[in-house]
Amino acid sequence: MDIEEVKRRAGPREFSPKDDLPEEYRKAATRMIQFHANSEIMGAYLERPFIREAPSLDRKLACSAKVQDEIGHGQLLYRAAESLGLKTRDEMLDELANGEGKFLNCFHYPMDDWVETPMIAFFVDGAAMRRQATLKRTSWEPYAHAMDKVCFEEGFHVKHGEAILHELMTGSKKEQEMTQEAFEEWWPRIIQFFGPTNDKSTHHGFASEVGLKQMGNDELRNAFLNAYIPKAKKYGLEIPDEPRIRENDDGTYEVVEEDLDWDEFFTIAKNDYDGSHQQINGRQAAQEAVDWVREVLDEHEAREFGGTQQQAAD
């Protein structure tokens, strides 16, 4: 199958491992899914410390379940990427630990206080749901199947974040002020979640042509703003003056793109932001800490299954 035939056939769940797809498609799909998987893992690492810092047992349990879900999502997505035949799961995990793997801009920033948790669990996960719902119709079938489970669980994550936001914004005056401050800090990052405008996006055009992406960055960002600005206001949050948000005559919203710090965004995209190194080093340390477990399992598998295979051959 050549790339022109891929473009002609591109549709929801159209291609699977049984198809003889060109390398150009496989590379684009691998890059996209690996980025998504890396982001799930790094998001879990960002939120993991708040399992202990959560203010109640119920919140600790919910945070623990959310982190477990995110790690599980990463594993599903690595397998979906692996099915394209270009990289193994272990190779992708090594790239992430070595600082070569790219991941979502929001997860390069540190998160220091409990009031920041709904910025991820409500706003970032809400933005993610906007994108992920469209990916249930992506052209790579294993990716779409993974998204069925991911979207189901992410819906609970958003509700979890919304419950925390409601609790904070109906709490003490101090809690409300701290939450507003966190919102003002995270708001530009959240808007940049969807990446640069379509015309500045390196991979958007091809990914759309072959059915990997179903909606552009601009459309997704505007859909998010239209849904989440009213929700932010509902809970008493004030939308920051920067970046400017335009309200159109029909009541819809759009951001003034020039107000966003795209230089910082593209620095993050290269893993060159100061916070990037802290997050990546944390991931590398975690991977090194369990290397001995991998080695023991590999030795056991070689001993048990290697021996069985040799006996069968004899």
Domains parsed from the chain with CATH numbers: 3-313 (1.20.1260.10)
How many residues comprise the chain? 314
- E-only strand ranges, the chain: 245-247, 253-255
Full 3-state SS string of 200-242? HCCCHHHHHHCCCCCCCHHHHHHHHHHHHHHHHHHCCCCCCCC
Q: Given this model, what pLDDT does residue 307 score?
A: 55
Q: Residue 245 carries which DSSP code?
A: E
Structure tokens at 194: 């969807």
Cα–Cα distance list, 149 to 65, 76, 257, 313 (Å): 15, 9, 33, 40
pLDDT the model gives residue 76: 97
Cα–Cα distance, 290 to 90 (Å, whole number)? 13
> Is 239:229 a contact under the CB 8 Å cutoff?
yes
* Interatomic CA distance for residues 78 and 80, integer angstroms: 5
CB 189 within 8 A of CB 240: no
Cα(276)–Cα(284) distance, integer angstroms: 12
Give CA–CA dist 173/186, Å, rounded.
Answer: 20
For residue 246, the SS3 value is strand
Q: Please report the pLDDT score of residue 16 as a whole number.
A: 96
User: For the chain, how big is the Rg over CA atoms in Å?
Assistant: 21
CA-wise closest residue to 283 among 74, 32, 27: 74
Return the amino acid letter for 174.
K
Q: For residue 157, give Cα distances in angstroms to 125, 161, 168.
A: 7, 6, 17
Pairing of strands 253-255, 245-247: antiparallel
DSSP category for residue 273: S
314 residues of the chain, pLDDT tens digit each: 899 999 999 999 999 999 999 999 999 999 999 999 999 999 999 999 999 999 999 999 999 999 999 999 999 999 999 999 999 999 999 999 999 999 999 999 999 999 999 999 999 999 999 999 999 999 999 999 999 999 999 999 999 999 999 999 999 999 999 999 999 999 999 999 998 887 777 778 899 999 999 999 999 999 999 999 999 999 999 999 989 999 999 989 999 988 988 888 889 888 887 777 777 777 777 777 777 887 888 888 888 877 555 555 44
As a whole number of angstroms, the distance between CA 21 and CA 13 comes to 14
As a whole number of angstroms, the distance between CA 40 and CA 48 comes to: 12
* Cα-based distances in Å from 130 to 8, 95, 96, 172: 26, 27, 25, 32
Nearest Cα to 233, choosing from 219, 259, 253, 260?
Answer: 253
Write down the pLDDT at residue 284.
Answer: 76
